[in-house]
Amino acid sequence: MLEAINNELKQFSTSAEEASNKDIFYALSRLLTKRIKQDWALTQNAYDHNSEKQVYYFSMEFLLGKLMKVHLINLQILEPVKKAMQKLGFSLEEVLQYEHDAGLGNGGLGRLAACFLDSMASLEIPGHGIGIRYKYGLFEQRLINQNQVELPDYWLKDDYIWEERRNEQSVEVKFGGTIHMTERNGRLHFVHENAETVKAVPFDVPITGYNNQTVNTLRLWSAESSLDAASYDQNQLPQYRDYLEYKQSIEEISAFLYPDDSHEEGKKLRLKQQYFLVSAGLQSIIHSFKKKYNADFSLFPKKIAIQINDTHPSLVIPELMRLLMDGEGLGWDKAWEITTNTVAYTNHTTLSEALETWPADMFSTLLPRIFMIVEEINERFCQHLWFHHEDYRDRIPELAVISYGQIKMAHLAVIGSHSVNGVAKIHTDILKKKEMKHFYQLYPSKFNNKTNGITHRRWLLQINPELSRLISSAIGDKWVERPKDLIKLIRYAEDTAFQDKAMEVKTYNKQVLARHIKEHTGLIVDDQSIFDVHIKRLHGYKRQLLNIFHIVYLYNTLKENPNLDIIPRTFIFGAKAAPSYYFAKQVIHFILSAADIINHDPAIQDKLKVVFLENYNVSLAEKIIPAADVSEQISTASKEASGTGNMKMMMNGALTIGTLDGANIEIKDMVGDKNIFTFGLTADDVLHYYHHGGYNAQDIYQTDERLQLILNQLHDGFFGNDEKDFKDIYYHLLSHNDEFFVLKDFNSYEETQEFVDQTYRNQQKWMTMSITNIAHSGKFSSDRTIQEYASEIWKVSKSPVFSR
């Protein structure tokens, strides 16, 4: 290994003595790329020649984070490389920092896509990602004067080491123009005239499997001008300026990721991005399908499975129809059968503000042919209801794809696919019984659940090597390939020697995080305190506000009674707010303002510390999660479809304080009531209040003195001069009746937090609970999730490219 690295350095005429960390980083990346490329080509060749079904996962987001360590682990060379680095006088950890996070996603949905790619490759499933190569990923967050400031994330400025441009596989995507119909040989032909043509260029990223040589592909599409700059005379200024403007308008399509998590804006550029992704992705799939199977499209659903990650890529349905009919000459019925048998849809949310709709006039102008097809799909669906479901006749406007000038993407996705899945049991139940009740009654067999998962290779093996080693020392290392084997740890839950070691690991990880906190915020936190972690996007329903209300309550109580006996706690937040989400930004401002007061009040005697770490992303999550004692999963019940942060922390031995929402419920089912702290309204309670009323936030303000004090502090400027901001939170809760039930759940949350404190005092008991959580976390590996998708939706099996 040492020699290989030295050789790489030599080729760029440096030596280890002269090399910088960055030189070493590039040398290592070249070395890895060479190795990966061999297996990548062999895998690709096998997929081109065998007749295995291929899975394509379409997603507007892939939140990959860094990949170098993943590759080192997958290729089983992490230890030799680490040693070689030491010999050369470098620290691998420092070298790895030179990789920029690929932040092509907002949060859970994008990270899920990344975990799925990892699991597909590791399980030897021929599965690939299709996404957009945004020039700018999710914005970088700075905290300045206790407010969020956004900076552009120009992640491509140093070249992306893993990507490979495949110019020869570029395709064209057309926007706008008009459709001209002609008849030839008794058949209608659709000619697209005056369209704007965009060149879609694929950049492929290799996705390595764990210890198996399989290398799948993440194909990211980039928009480029199809006109050649050389044909413009730079001295002919008006024309050249037009050209530059035109070029920029094309490149804009893949310029940036929309930063609104779980919120839909209905912007034209976003629709352009979606169609760009779908059209380019499908054209390249059809191209490789035809090379293998000529034009026998009846084979298509047997050889191709397409999963769409939320409704964002649901234009695959009309676009596949277009390509099959206009491009390949198939009739409607045949094309429809192929399309619906190929496409499967994953629903991610029931939040109404996240449901995608497009104004029909904007849609038809931008995508005239696709609009015709959507209209036809809608027409046939409405006719079907009219003639075959008389009891649904009244509901046609409610269930149609197009109604009142709006196109409803979720309806299109359900009608045009063979599978509709939710992402946790409760979420799928809510879809079936409430949100998509009528569609469920029309198509009961389409609906199914696939509880989310996370790759235990990144989220345990990679980020917590100390705990991984301890686990392997007890139960062997088979759990790495079979995460359900973690259950064998249950025998050690009450083993005091093992508990002590697990405790040592946790303390070590807390010390490491404490150093990071000191370096990045200047705050000194006590590694003996409880590390209470709330990391996720900032959103009303995720209720960071409930957490900070409880912290302020503790603060007020300690001021009143400085001798109050509580275990010291360090509250750790990480969260980005969408730039246009005013309330979320106010909550950040509130947390930072309260933190400033609490952290610097000597009367608190360091019993409370509030830390907000800047720029929450995959790399920061990797630093925080191994050190978490308590995992905050406190969404308003019914709102968090699954959550995956909950799984990551459980797997690292944190105990969950959470509502009965999303996958928290399945975590509770696995570990039992005694090993999780649940509280608050249930989903049924919440849905009942929404439908029937009966909750009055003012009543709670009047009767709960603790909350009255905090709300008055907000109103009266206790947290700073910038009173106006905090008054808005006050009015949100009291005048707008607290739509996320923060005040309603406060009492139950506070009691449960007190129970957390009491429980932590018994360190043995705490460690028993912690180990029990780790032992049951195998179910939440995305390997299990992907096995379920593979056997129940995609009908694909493992297809090893290499014999082991």
Ligand X SMILES: *Cc1c(COP(=O)(O)O)cnc(C)c1O
Q: Which residues are catalytic?
A: 348, 536-537, 542, 644, 648
Q: How far is the CB of 184 from ligand X (least distance, A)?
A: 52
Applying CB under 6 A, does 643 fall inside the site for ligand X?
Answer: yes
Stretch that binds ligand X, among 35-43, 210-218, 382-390, 639-647 (CB under 6 A): 639-647
E strands, 258-381, where? 304-309, 343-346, 357-359
Select from 197, 191, 203, 306 the least CA-distant residue to 246. 197
Select the residue interacting with ligand X from 127, 137, 645, 778 (CB under 6 A): 645
Give the nearest distance from C-beta 616 to ligand X in angstroms.
Answer: 6
342: contact with ligand X by CB under 6 A: no
- Beta carbon nearer to ligand X, 501 or 648: 648
Distance CA 648, CA 781 (A): 9
Q: How far is the CB of 131 from ligand X (least distance, A)?
A: 16
- Give backbone dihedrals phi and psi of 179, rounded to 5 degrees, phi first: -110, 125
Buried b (16+ CB within 10 A) or exposed e, 262-273: bbbeeeeebbbb
Q: Are 657 and 631 in contact (CB under 8 A)?
A: yes
Q: Would you count residue 420 as binding ligand X (CB under 6 A)? A: no
Min separation Cβ 779 and ligand X, Å: 16
**Residues 647, 631: Cα–Cα separation, whole Å:** 10
State which residue, 126 or 645, has the beta carbon closest to ligand X: 645
DSSP state string for 230-286: GGS-TTSHHHHHHHHHHHHHHHGGGTB----TT-----HHHHHHHHHHHHHHHHHHH
Radius of gyration of the chain (CA): 27
Q: Please report whether residue 630 would count as binding ligand X according to CB under 6 A.
A: no
CB of 647 to ligand X, least distance (A): 8
Rounded least distance, CB 213 to ligand X, Å:
27
Contact status: 410 vs ligand X (CB under 6 A):
no
618 in contact with ligand X (CB under 6 A):
yes
Tell me which stretch binds ligand X (CB under 6 A): 48-56, 248-256, 306-314, 613-621: 613-621
423 sits near ligand X (criterion: CB under 6 A): no
CA 622 – CA 463 distance, rounded (Å):
6
Alpha-carbon gap, residue 156 to 441, rounded angstroms: 47
Contact at 8 Å (CB) between 36 and 218?
Answer: no
User: Is position 644 an interface residue for ligand X (rule: CB under 6 A)?
Assistant: yes
Indicate whether 621 belongs to the interface with ligand X (CB under 6 A): yes
Establish if 536 lies at the interface with ligand X (CB under 6 A): yes
Token couple for 336:
């429809």
x/- track of binding to ligand X for residues 104-143 (CB under 6 A): ---xx--x--------------------------------
Closer Cβ to ligand X, 107 or 209, answer by number: 107
The torsion of the CA quartet 763, 765, 766, 769, rounded to 10 degrees, works out to 160
In whole angstroms, how close is the CB of 6 to ligand X at the nearest point?
A: 36
Q: Which stretch binds ligand X (CB under 6 A): 174-182, 642-650, 759-767, 779-787?
A: 642-650
Candidate segments 46-54, 370-378, 426-434, 616-624, binder of ligand X by CB under 6 A: 616-624
Our measurement of the distance from residue 432's CA atom to the centroid of its chain's CA atoms, rounded to an integer in Å, reads: 23
Stretch that binds ligand X, among 30-38, 355-363, 638-646, 761-769 (CB under 6 A): 638-646
Tell me whether residue 628 or residue 790 sits nearer to ligand X (CB atom).
628
Burial of 223 (0-12, 13-18, 19+ CB in 10 A): buried
Q: Measured from the CB atom, is 107 or 368 closer to ligand X?
A: 107
Tokens describing residue 378: 């809608």
User: Which CB, 510 or 542, lies closer to ligand X?
Assistant: 542
Query: How far apart are the C-alpha atoms of 348 and 344, rounded to whole Å?
Result: 13
Determine if 617 is a binding residue for ligand X (CB under 6 A): yes
Task: Provide the residue type at 655 as one letter.
Answer: L
With respect to ligand X, which residue has the nearer C-beta, 464 or 644? 644
Based on CB atoms, which residue is closest to ligand X, 625 or 756? 625
Residue number of the CB atom closest to ligand X: 645
Q: Which residues, 6 or more positions from 356, have their beta carbon under 8 angstroms from its beta carbon?
A: 264, 266, 311, 312, 314, 408, 409, 410
Q: Give the chain's largest Cα–Cα span.
A: 91
Interface positions with ligand X (CB under 6 A): 107-108, 111, 536, 617-618, 621, 643-645, 648
